[in-house]
Structure 1
Amino acid sequence: MPSHTRSAAVIALALLVILAGCGGMGGGGDAAGGGDGASGVNASGGGASVSSAESGGGGAETAAASVDGSAATDAEAGNEQALQPRRAIIRTGHVRLDVENFSTAQRNVTTATRRLGGYVSGSSQSTRGENGNRTAGQLVVRVPSRNFSALYDRIQATGTVLSARTNSSDVTEKLVDLEARLENLRAQRQRLRNLYENASDTEAVLKVQERLSNTQSEIERLEAQLQSLRGQVALSTITVELTEPADDPVVAGAWYDSGVLDAFLSSIGGVVTTLRAAVVGLAYLAPYLLVFGVPLALGYLAYRRRTATSASAE
Structure 2
Amino acid sequence: MSKEAVMFARQHRWTGRIIAIVAALALVLGVAGCGAIDSLTGTRTTGSSSSEPSMGAPDVYQDAAKGVDGVATDESLATAPYGTGHVAANVPQTDRLIIRNKALRIEVKQVTEALDTIKASAKKHDGVITSMQVASDSGSPIYRYSDSGTPSDGTPLLGYVTVRVPADKFAAFVDEVSAIGTVRYQAETTDDVTQQHVDLKARLDNLRAEEARLREFFDAAKNVNEMLAIETELGRVRGEIESLDAQVKYLERQAAMATVTIDLSEPQAIVRPNGEDWGFGDAVTTGFRGAASAIQLLIVITITLSPYLLIAAVLFFAIRAIVRARRNRRTIVAADAAPDDEAPAK
> Which secondary structure state, in structure 2, belongs to the residue aligned with residue 132 of structure 1?
coil
Q: Name the counterpart of 2:110.
A: 101
| Matching of residues 106-255 of structure 1 within 5 Å | 106-133=115-142, 134-246=156-268, 253-254=286-287
Alignment CA distance shift 1:236-1:270 (3 Å) = same
Q: Name the counterpart of 1:275.
A: 306
Deviations 1:72-117 (A, max 9, x none): xxxxxxxxxxx74322222111112232322211111111122122
| Matching of residues 68-107 of structure 1 within 5 Å | 84-85=91-92, 86-107=95-116
One-letter amino acid of the structure 1 residue matched with residue 193 of structure 2: V
Stretches of structure 2 lacking an aligned partner (at least 5 in a row): 1-89, 143-155, 273-281, 310-346
TM-score by length of 1: 0.54
Deviates more, 1:238-247 or 1:193-202: 238-247
The separation in 1 between residues aligned to 2:167 and 2:161, in whole angstroms, is 18
Deviations 1:259-302 (A, max 9, x none): 9xx987775444113337x59xxxxxxxxxxxxxxxxxxxxxxx
Q: CA deviation at 1:206?
A: 2.0
Alignment CA distance shift 1:117-1:209 (3 Å) = same
The separation in 1 between residues aligned to 2:195 and 2:140, in whole angstroms, is 53
The separation in 2 between residues aligned to 1:108 and 1:271, in whole angstroms, is 52
Q: CA deviation at 1:246?
A: 4.9
The separation in 2 between residues aligned to 1:120 and 1:95, in whole angstroms, is 15
> Which secondary structure state, in structure 2, belongs to the residue aligned with residue 158 of structure 1?
coil
Deviations 1:29-67 (A, max 9, x none): xxxxxxxxxxxxxxxxxxxxxxxxxxxxxxxxxxxxxxx
Percent of aligned positions that are identical: 29
One-letter amino acid of the structure 1 residue matched with residue 232 of structure 2: E
Q: CA deviation at 1:171?
A: 1.6
The separation in 1 between residues aligned to 2:290 and 2:131, in whole angstroms, is 51
Stretches of structure 1 lacking an aligned partner (at least 5 in a row): 1-82, 280-314
Q: CA deviation at 1:173?
A: 1.6
Alignment size in residue pairs:
194
> Which secondary structure state, in structure 2, belongs to the residue aligned with residue 93 of structure 1?
strand
Q: Name the counterpart of 1:72.
A: none
* RMSD, matched Cα: 3.1
One-letter amino acid of the structure 1 residue matched with residue 175 of structure 2: D
> Which secondary structure state, in structure 1, belongs to the residue aligned with residue 109 of structure 2?
coil
The separation in 1 between residues aligned to 2:132 and 2:290, in whole angstroms, is 47
Conservation of the 8 A alpha-carbon contact between 1:129 and 1:247: no
> Which secondary structure state, in structure 2, belongs to the residue aligned with residue 238 of structure 1?
strand
Q: Name the counterpart of 1:298.
A: none
More helix by proportion, 1 or 2?
Answer: 1
Conservation of the 8 A alpha-carbon contact between 1:129 and 1:246: no
> Which secondary structure state, in structure 2, belongs to the residue aligned with residue 100 of structure 1?
coil
Q: Please say which structure displays the higher CA radius of gyration.
A: 1
The separation in 1 between residues aligned to 2:199 and 2:189, in whole angstroms, is 23
The separation in 1 between residues aligned to 2:257 and 2:129, in whole angstroms, is 12
> Which secondary structure state, in structure 1, belongs to the residue aligned with residue 96 of structure 2?
coil
The separation in 1 between residues aligned to 2:127 and 2:121, in whole angstroms, is 9
Alignment CA distance shift 1:131-1:199 (3 Å) = same
One-letter amino acid of the structure 1 residue matched with residue 162 of structure 2: V
Conservation of the 8 A alpha-carbon contact between 1:120 and 1:140: yes
TM-score by length of 2: 0.49
Alignment CA distance shift 1:213-1:100 (3 Å) = same
Q: Name the counterpart of 2:152.
A: none
Q: Name the counterpart of 1:309.
A: none
The separation in 2 between residues aligned to 1:158 and 1:150, in whole angstroms, is 14
